[in-house]
Amino acid sequence: MDDNKKTETAIFAGGCFWCTEAFFTDLKGVEKVVSGYIGGKTENPTYKEVCSGYTGHAEAIKITFNPDEVAYEDLLEIFFATHDPTTLNRQGADVGTQYRSEIFYTTEAQKQAAENFIKLLTDQKIFDKKIVTKVTSATTFYPAEDYHQDYYAQNPDQPYCQAVIAPKLAKLQKNYKSKLKG
């Protein structure tokens, strides 16, 4: 293993973390994706607590990536292509602040890139409604319970995975084939 390998961290909240995790796992340059919670007031929250909506956390993913292999802007492109950034505190049937659209930047360069990307999408009228995605400085990220990690890969036949994740993943694989591993 090359200990000098350059990595960065990106943190995105785009609804259910089972979905967002599945979209980034197979991207070239992505080394690790962890589902978890960020942006709330409770230390070490549980899934049940986050689902209550009272902790203030968002379901999110923490991506470790090699910027020499995949640009942060490419991650932003996938993020915006795989969820609806125009719905406040909601993704499909999932409703609540824990399902909000938010980018938690870890560097000033990421903040600028995210703000520029949202402006570009807005200027090009890519969405027919206003983008409500927040861009916020990252706070403590708490990994979710083990059974949430790599959820889609572990449970591809689960009804939610078949109905919600599989069709979006197929679209991603078709439209971004050149950005996927092997």
Q: Of the listed 16, 19, 51, 161, which one is catalytic?
A: 16
| Whether 51 is catalytic | no
Q: In whole angstroms, what is the distance from residue 95 CA to residue 92 CA?
A: 8
Q: Which two tokens stand for residue 3?
A: 């200990």
- Helices then strands (H, E): number in the chain? 7, 8
Sign of the C-alpha dihedral computed for residues 129, 138, 151 and 48 taken in this order: negative
Q: CA dist 1 to 4, 5, 14, 62, Å?
A: 9, 9, 32, 22
List active site positions. Answer: 16
